[in-house]
Structure formats: structure tokens, C-alpha cells
């Protein structure tokens, strides 16, 4: 049986699938050619990340397809309910990339409070001619320790973010309508752990109390962070979106940064991917990454191996 990993898969995932008797194809097929390729090559399993979509039209046009897998968490690029109604297995890997996304959030946070996102732009241009000026410009950094981190959405990734925040000495608050109480286990290097019990607060309370807000919610029909929500945040607070593009009103975000209401923002996801708005890309107060939350070698190995295990159980 043939599996097409159209957006790629780790070597460990390929090895695991091959050992289970599957033929793994890793060629990247253009979206408009995907139906023909699947049918011509008798593909039974399609694996995607965020680039390839699997909509109703593809599902209807590929009668031999038995499984669609998403290497990651969100499945907004797959018509999940429709696929299931047609008898297809739909799988994802919700736990595999959580730690990687959480570490990226903190890379952005540390870079933000010490102006690294801006210093890395300006040092190559002015480091030789204006060293003292830049030193003065970036001399008012702050520490994360002792500050309040607000997490919106407290699933696996949100809890991983909370663990790091607690570990560096932050107060963590969260809001999640589906999780009123949570116990976060902060693991130490020696195998011991510390259990921290938290309760969900209202969205308004988290917005008002937090020095930093990190979003960990699925794609929505409407903005979750719009102009009204931004106005409720503390003056000088910062926002990180490593969740999904479209959950933040980017026009309102730029306005909040320009007015000084927010100190900085960090974006790993964008409304218009793969062509983010130039106002975001050029903004002096925005730390930017190109949707790489799960893009660590360790996470990709875990994703590949988890997909292989699920495929082996479902199709063998």
C-alpha cells in the first residue's frame, strides 16, 4: 500500500512505515495535480502538514483513498467531518509538537523583552557606525521572571507554555471554556516534578492582568483578539501568536503597536500565508517567524513515528 507524504515526513517515520510494509512516497505534488497523482498511483494514505489541503472535492475524486493524516495539531486544511462521513480515517499528531511550539513562544518572548528582533535587524546596518546609539536604544529591557503570562487556550501546547513560564518564575493565568481546572506538572532534569494547580479565569481578566499573552487556540470564524480585546490588555503588554493565522485582527494589532499600547508582538502565523502583509513584515515592533512552531528535528521525528504507528493500526 502506498502512502503519499506530500508535505514531507521524517526519516524515522519513513522507516517505521516501510518496516510495516508500506511504500512511502515523498514527492511534493502541486495541489492542482494531486487528485490525478493519487488516482494514477493508487495512493491509499495522504499525509499533509499545513501546505496541502484535503477538501471535499479531493475526497470525492479519490475513491481509493482510505486515510488522511495531518502531521501536527490543527486540521483546518482538511474537511474532517466530510472525510469521516465517507469512511476515511482522519488522524493527526496533537502531542508531538507541543514542546517545540512552546519553546518557540519563549524564544519570541525573550527576544522581545531584550529587543533582539530589532537589534538583529539594525546591528548589521549600524553596529559599526552607531554602536553606542544602539546600546542606548536597547538598554531598557525587562526580565520575564516575576511577570504574568496569560495563556489563551489551555490544551497540550498551552500547558507546555505554562510549564516553561512557571519554570522561569512567571505567574501563569489562563482562560479556556473547556478546562475549568488544570494541574501542570513541571518536570525537572533529575526526573522529579512539581505539580501546580491552576483555575481558568475569564478572558477579560486574563487580558487585563497579563504582561504577556500567548495564543493557543484553533482557527475561528471570527477574530479572538480584535481591537476591543487589544484595548483590554495592559499598556505595555505584548502578544504572541504561534497558533493559527486569522485569530488576531492584524490591522488592529498594528494600530495598538503604533499607538504604544502594546510594547511588541510576535507572529509565527499569519492571516495571509504564505504572503503575509508587508506592514507586518516591516514593522519595527514585531518579531517574525515563518510558521515554524513544530519545525524542530525532535518534533518531526515524533510526528513521523506517531503517524506511522496510527497508520499501521488502521490500515493493516
pLDDT at 275: 96
Q: Is it true that 2-95+297-315 and 98-288 share their CATH fold?
A: yes
How confident is the model over 131-146, as a mean pLDDT?
A: 98
Write out pLDDT tens, residues 167-194: 999 999 999 999 999 999 999 999 999 9
Residue percentage of the chain with pLDDT more than 90: 95
Task: Choose the catalytic residue: 103, 209, 273, 277.
Answer: 273
Reported CATH class of domain 2-95+297-315 = alpha beta
The answer to which of 3-7, 114-118, 312-316 has the lowest mean pLDDT is: 312-316
How confident is the model over 294-313, as a mean pLDDT?
A: 95
Residue ranges per structural domain of the chain? 2-95+297-315, 98-288
pLDDT at 284: 95
Provide the β-strand partners of residue 239: 213, 265
Which pTM was predicted?
0.90
φ/ψ of residue 305, rounded to 5: -70, -35
Is the separation of the CB atoms in 25 and 5 below 8 Å? yes
186: left (phi over 0), alpha (psi -120 to 50) or beta: beta
Query: What does the alpha-carbon distance between residue 28 and residue 17 come to, in Å, rounded to a whole number?
Result: 18
Supply the DSSP string of 219-236, one letter for each residue: --SS-SB-HHHHHHSPTT
The SS3 call for residue 66 is: coil
- What is the 3-class SS of 23-64, one letter each residue? EEECCCCCHHHHHHHHHHCCEEEEEECCCCCECHHHHHHCCC
Within a 10 A sphere around the Cβ of 201, how many other Cβ atoms?
Answer: 17
Residue 92 belongs to what H/E stretch?
Answer: strand 89-92
Task: Choose the catalytic residue: 216, 244, 283, 302.
Answer: 244
**pLDDT at residue 50 greater than cutoff 90:** no
Which of the four pLDDT bands, split at 50, 70 and 90, describes residue 299? very high
**pLDDT at residue 94 greater than cutoff 90:** no
Which of the four pLDDT bands, split at 50, 70 and 90, describes residue 95? confident
Query: What does the alpha-carbon distance between residue 37 and residue 65 come to, in Å, rounded to a whole number?
Result: 12
**Is 302 assigned a catalytic role?**
no
**pLDDT at residue 286 greater than cutoff 90:** yes
Q: Is the dihedral of CA 69, 74, 79, 85 positive or negative?
A: positive
Which of the four pLDDT bands, split at 50, 70 and 90, describes residue 72? confident
Exposed / middle / buried, residue 1 (Cβ in 10 Å: 0-12, 13-18, 19+): middle
How confident is the model over 37-58, as a mean pLDDT?
A: 96
- What CATH number should be reported for the domain whose range is 98-288? 3.40.50.720
**Is 283 assigned a catalytic role?**
no
Query: What does the alpha-carbon distance between residue 198 and residue 219 come to, in Å, rounded to a whole number?
Result: 25
**pLDDT at residue 316 greater than cutoff 90:** no
Task: Choose the catalytic residue: 70, 216, 291, 302.
Answer: 291
Write out pLDDT tens, residues 227-265: 999 999 999 999 999 999 999 999 999 999 999 999 999
β-pairing, 2-5 vs 23-25, is parallel
**Is 244 assigned a catalytic role?**
yes
End-to-end CA distance of the chain: 9
Cell of 64: 481509493
- Please list, in sequence order, all residues whose beta carbon lies within 8 angstroms of the beta carbon of residue 89, skipping any fewer than 6 positions away: 66, 67, 68, 314, 315
Count of residues making up the chain: 316
β-pairing, 171-175 vs 148-152, is parallel
* Angle in degrees, CA 247, 252, 255, rounded to 5: 145
**pLDDT at residue 74 greater than cutoff 90:** no
How confident is the model over 36-53, as a mean pLDDT?
A: 96
Amino acid at each position: 500500500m502506498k502512502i503519499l507524504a506530500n508535505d514531507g515526513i521524517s526519516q524515522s517515520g519513513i522507516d517505521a512505515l516501510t518496516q510495516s510494509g508500506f511504500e512511502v512516497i515523498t514527492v511534493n505534488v502541486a495541489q492542482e495535480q494531486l487528485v490525478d497523482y493519487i488516482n494514477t498511483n493508487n495512493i491509499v494514505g495522504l499525509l499533509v502538514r499545513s501546505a496541502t489541503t484535503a477538501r471535499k472535492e479531493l475526497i470525492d475524486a479519490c475513491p481509493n483513498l482510505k486515510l488522511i493524516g495531518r502531521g501536527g495539531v490543527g486540521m483546518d486544511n482538511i474537511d474532517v467531518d466530510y472525510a469521516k462521513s465517507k469512511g476515511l480515517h482522519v488522524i493527526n499528531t496533537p502531542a508531538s509538537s507541543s514542546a517545540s511550539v512552546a519553546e518557540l513562544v519563549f524564544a519570541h518572548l525573550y527576544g522581545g523583552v531584550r529587543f533582539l528582533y530589532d537589534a538583529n535587524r539594525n546591528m548589521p546596518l549600524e553596529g559599526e557606525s552607531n554602536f553606542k546609539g544602539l546600546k542606548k536604544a536597547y538598554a531598557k529591557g525587562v526580565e520575564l521572571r516575576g511577570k504574568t503570562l496569560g495563556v489563551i487556550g489551555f490544551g497540550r501546547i498551552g500547558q507546555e507554555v505554562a510549564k516553561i513560564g512557571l519554570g522561569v518564575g512567571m505567574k501563569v493565568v489562563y482562560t479556556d471554556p473547556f478546562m475549568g481546572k488544570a494541574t501542570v506538572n513541571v518536570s525537572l532534569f533529575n526526573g522529579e516534578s512539581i505539580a501546580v494547580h491552576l483555575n481558568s479565569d475569564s478572558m477579560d481578566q486574563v487580558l487585563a492582568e497579563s504582561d504577556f499573552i500567548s495564543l493557543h487556540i484553533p482557527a475561528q470564524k471570527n477574530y479572538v483578539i480584535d481591537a476591543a480585546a487589544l484595548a483590554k490588555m495592559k499598556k505595555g503588554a505584548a502578544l504572541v501568536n504561534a497558533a493559527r493565522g486569522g485569530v488576531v485582527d492584524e490591522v488592529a494589532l498594528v494600530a495598538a503597536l503604533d499607538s504604544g499600547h502594546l510594547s511588541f508582538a510576535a507572529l509565527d502565523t499569519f492571516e495571509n500565508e504564505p504572503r503575509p502583509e508587508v506592514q507586518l513584515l516591516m514593522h519595527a515592533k514585531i518579531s517574525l517567524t515563518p510558521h515554524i512552531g513544530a519545525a524542530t528535528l525532535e518534533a518531526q521525528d515524533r510526528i513521523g513515528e506517531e503517524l506511522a504507528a496510527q497508520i499501521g493500526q488502521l490500515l493493516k
